[in-house]
Amino acid sequence: MENDIKEVMFTKEKIHGKVKQLGEAITKDYNTGDEIVVIGVLKGANVFLSDLIREIAMPVYLDFMAVSSYGLSTESSGTVRILKDLDLEIENKHVLIVEDIVDTGLTLKYLTDNLKSRNIASLKICTLLDKPFRRKCDLDIDYVGFEIPDEFIVGYGIDFAEKYRNLPYIATLKKEVYN
């Protein structure tokens, strides 16, 4: 696996510091006594979400959704499928979506529209990584860890063809690995 890595972008320590900052900002913004439902987008956000909720200093409900627009490809197909829906009822709740990376935004736009149709009290988005210049739709992202260039990245829960999720850092992948 290590031989497939081109360059480490964010070390384990740098990620931890950023996750702590994001958790503090979320705690401050939601410190209203309201309950929040944190929704992790599987599978990529799982590692980030696990660390993030430990940095949110208030009670949270936790649920997951699985959506797909990539399959085993490196490019989004543009067609979004919900593979796993929520188990919790979110009507009249404050919802925080946690994503690993926002690229074109098409999948997240579909997801936010779907959740807003469920009569929620509010919706915010937190992503660890953002590629805003690749965006193909309007999205308001409330919490961004790092903006990244148009590189194919892996690690810290993010995969290529279901591999590399267990790397403790975020790195670029050599082109010959995914071409």
CA-to-CA dists, residue 169 to 68, 119, 129, 150, angstroms: 24, 37, 13, 18
Domain boundaries, the chain: 2-178
Strand partners, 130: 102, 147
- 2-178 has which CATH code? 3.40.50.2020
Where does the pLDDT of residue 77 fall: very low under 50, low under 70, confident under 90, or very high at 90 and above?
low
User: Which is catalytic among the residues 4, 51, 87, 103?
Assistant: 103
Distance CA 118, CA 137 (A): 21
- Can you give the pLDDT at residue 80? 80
| Nearest CA among 112, 99, 111, 107 for reference residue 143 | 99
pLDDT in tens, 52-67: 999 999 999 999 999 8
The yes-or-no answer on residue 140 being catalytic is no
pLDDT in tens, 16-43: 999 999 999 999 998 767 779 999 999 9
CA-to-CA dists, residue 10 to 2, 83, 155, angstroms: 15, 30, 10
Distance CA 71, CA 110 (A): 17
pLDDT in tens, 133-144: 989 999 999 999
Distance CA 179, CA 171 (A): 17
Give the pTM.
Answer: 0.91
